[in-house]
Structure 1
Amino acid sequence: MMLHRIYPAMLLSLLPLCAVAQPIAWQTYLIEETGAKVDVPVSIFTKQAGKPPGGPGRQFLTSDGRANFTVQSIPNTSDDSPALFLAKKKPPAGIIYKKVTSRFFVASSVLNDRIWYNRCNRSAGYMQCVLINYPAAEKRQWDGVVTRISNSLASK
């Protein structure tokens, strides 16, 4: 009988330890000037941080500023291939992951205990890009978010 009375109290005391993660809310962001679009996890990147330099798009931040996300259409007036475009950007040394095709490139590495992830898709006159920076210690928590963002990047 006594165990029956204690059990609900014990269960309630354990609830904070067993909190279930909230589902992520997503919204498609469209760069109207170029037709680029991408899924943005708006429940994670809750602050807009203005327009990025160098082309139309938008920058986003987490509420605590520990991660940022940029979606941008960068003019590609020379019609550079993704490989040449990436080389011209002069990414930091020590790239951990890189994939380059005739249609896109992906590059990622760790810099100052932060993972940076950059994907750019080639389109008519532009490279449609996403850049995500987040704490390296949180890599596992970010893997699914980064994958969805990357795979959703498209243009008309």
Structure 2
Amino acid sequence: MHTGAWFVAAAVLLGAGPAAAQSALNWQRYNVGANSAAADVPRAVFSEDAGPAQDGTGRRFASADGRADLTVQSIDNTRGLSPAAFLAERNPPPGIIYRRVTPRFFAVSSIRDGRVWYNRCNRVPGAMNCVLINYPAAEKRKWDAIVTRISRSLR
């Protein structure tokens, strides 16, 4: 489905109720592996397999038009770093607009080259389970509900 078309469908159906929105965006659970990262993925949006995660184990997904992508991955954390220490070691780019760090997870977001990037990692024994999402900054409001659901579904 063309990106603009699914935004219209999602907006209409989100007003119709959660069951209709679930069906329209074709939410499916993606599991990296047993006892590993998992998150809900709207397959109507991220319809393309973009290959393995670049870091850790997991998968990358892309929109059909290539303007948005999602990675679900599990990254080794056998040293047991806290989310704050793990984030610091990742050397995030300067200018982070949104940052939330707790003992259980971190979430950071900013804008780079006209695209919003959002990363959330949950601390689990021996790993950090993460989602990374990139999408056009001009469409931020349209993406808010999708990013929120993906982020909250991360296990």
Q: Shorter-chain TM-score: which interval?
A: 0.7 to 0.9
Q: Counterpart amino acid of 2:73?
A: Q
Are 2:36 and 2:129, in contact at CA under 8 Å, matched by a contact in 1? no
1:77-110 C-alpha deviation (Å, 9 max, x unpaired): 2110000000111111010000000000000000
Does the 8 A contact of 2:117 with 2:132 survive in 1?
A: yes
TM-score, scaled relative to structure 1: 0.84
Q: Deviations over 1:95-147 (max 9, x none)?
A: 00000000000000001110000000000100000000000000011000000
Q: Which runs of 5+ in 1 are unaligned?
A: 1-19
Size of the aligned set, in residue pairs, is 135
State the 1:33 CA deviation. 4.6
Q: Distance in 2 between matches of 1:123 and 1:95?
A: 24
Q: Does 1:77 align with 2:96?
A: no
Q: Which one has a bigger Cα radius of gyration? A: 1
Find the aligned partners of 2:114 and 2:123 in 1 and give their Cα distance: 30
CA contact (8 A) 2:36 2:74 kept: no
Q: Kindly provide the CA deviation profile for residues 45-70 of structure 1, in whole angstroms up to 9, marking residues without a partner as x.
A: 00011111221100000000000000
Could you tell me how far apart the structure 1 residues matched to 2:68 and 2:139 are? Answer: 10
Alignment of 1:1-150 (within 5 A): 21=9, 23-150=24-151
Distance 2:37 2:94 in 1: 29
**Once the two structures are superposed, what CA deviation does each residue of 1:25-58 show, in whole Å capped at 9, x if it has no partner?**
1000011154321000000000011111221100
In 1, the alpha carbon distance for the partners of 2:86 and 2:35 equals 18
The percentage of counterpart residues that share the same residue type is 57
CA contact (8 A) 1:71 1:130 kept: yes
Other structure's SS at 2:52 match: coil
Stretches of 4+ moved more than 2 A in 1?
none
- Consecutive unaligned residues of structure 2, counting only runs of 5 or more, are 1-7, 11-23
Q: Contact 2:57/2:73 (CA < 8 Å) preserved in 1?
A: yes
After TM superposition, the score normalised by the length of structure 2 is 0.84
The Cα RMSD (Å) is: 1.1
Q: How far, CA to CA, are the matches of 2:132 and 2:49 in structure 1?
A: 15
Query: What secondary structure does 1:64 align onto?
Result: coil
- Retained in 2: the 8 A contact 1:34–1:73? no
1:25 counterpart letter in structure 2: N
